[in-house]
Amino acid sequence: MKAKVDKVIILWTANTEMFLLPDINSIDDLESRIANNTPLPASVLYCVAAIQEQVIYLNGSPQNTFHPAIVEYAAKNGGLIAGSDFKSGQTRFKTVMSDFLIGSGIRIASCVSYNHLGNNDGKNLSEDKCFQSKKISKAGVLDDAMKANQILYPEEKGLNKIDHEVVIKYVPFVGDSKRAMDEYSSQIFMNGTNTISSYNVCEDSLLAVPLMYDMIILGELFSRMEIDGKKLGHVLSYLSFFFKAPITNHDEYVINSFSRQRDTLTNLLKVSAGILPDDTTLLSFKF
């Protein structure tokens, strides 16, 4: 197939795999397991094959595909990867809400998310081992907002946590029409409590498909881009905007904030087109 087209991109959209974190110690260990037919998650095997074939691999499902040894393998072999888990509906809204509340100086203390859906994804997630993979990918979306505000979430006092719970139930009758309910409870002045609740009904697949188009088009573009003669790295970090659990080339700058992810992506595209990036200082207007 590669001989008949200019470029191949693999977009992994399979159902969530069971929670499994294989104890792979190194690239040599990974290659040994593959050579000896040691069982590994299907997504890991496809990802390794994509890296070997120099094919872009975008992981749209919430499993443990990008084990550290896999990421290192991509770096060593010039592979291009991005992921994990499409961020389309409830989780994207959650990153917006955390931006809004914490950015307003309001301390979210509890965030509870409930979903029910009836498609094949919902049936698959009714299995506890599969659900654990999804729960982990959803759990980190509030971390970035907390780390950005040490006044509300002081680590030294052990107050750098939010009670964060995610529930997913399978209800066959509703089909692909997903019901998502969120409750954000915050601590406010004089030990008061402020609670915001939301209820969203959406066609889950219809929210995800436009993201697939965007990440394929942008992923292909980023695979060709160079800055000072250097590629953008083995992890296409600028695609983080589309994923619940983004990975980057440097662990210290994983960003989940909706506004920061969007600004980073749009400003890169502007610079690439020779347009000045957004300047929010307003200095050009002389105050």
What CATH code is carried by the domain that includes residue 186?
3.30.360.10
Do 99 and 239 share a structural domain?
no
- CB-based contacts of 5-9 (< 8 A; 24+ apart in sequence): 7/56, 7/220, 7/223, 8/53, 8/55, 8/56, 9/55, 9/56, 9/58, 9/216, 9/219, 9/220
Are 252 and 116 in the same domain? no
Residue 281 belongs to some domain of the structure: no
Question: With DSSP H G I counted as helix, E B as strand and the rest as coil, what are the percentages for the chain, rounded to 5?
Answer: 45, 20, 35
Domain range enclosing 190: 90-203
* Structural domain count, the chain: 2
pTM for this predicted structure: 0.86
List the chain pLDDT tens, one digit each, 287 residues: 677 888 899 999 888 887 766 678 789 999 999 999 988 888 999 999 999 999 999 999 877 788 889 999 999 999 999 988 888 888 888 888 988 998 889 999 999 999 998 888 777 777 776 666 666 666 677 877 787 788 999 988 888 889 999 898 999 999 888 899 999 999 999 999 999 999 999 887 888 899 999 999 999 999 999 989 999 999 999 999 999 888 888 877 777 788 888 999 999 999 999 998 888 887 877 76
- Judge whether 268 lies within some domain: yes
Q: Give a yes or no: residue 278 inside a domain.
A: no
Would you state the structure tokens that stand for residue 163, as one six-digit string? Answer: 């009670």
The three-class DSSP label of residue 218 is helix
203, 225, 241 — which closes off a domain?
A: 203
285 in a structural domain: no
73 and 214 assigned to the same domain? yes
Please enumerate in sequence order all residues whose Cβ is within 8 A of that of 189, keeping only pairs 6 or more positions apart, or say none.
none
Residue 279 resides in a domain:
no
Give the angle 60-224-95 at the CA atoms, nearest 5°: 35
Helices (H) and strands (E) in the chain, counts: 9, 9
* Residues 166 and 250 reside in one and the same domain: no
CATH number at residue 213: 3.40.50.720
Residues taking part in catalysis:
85, 134, 178, 244
Same domain, 131 and 264: no
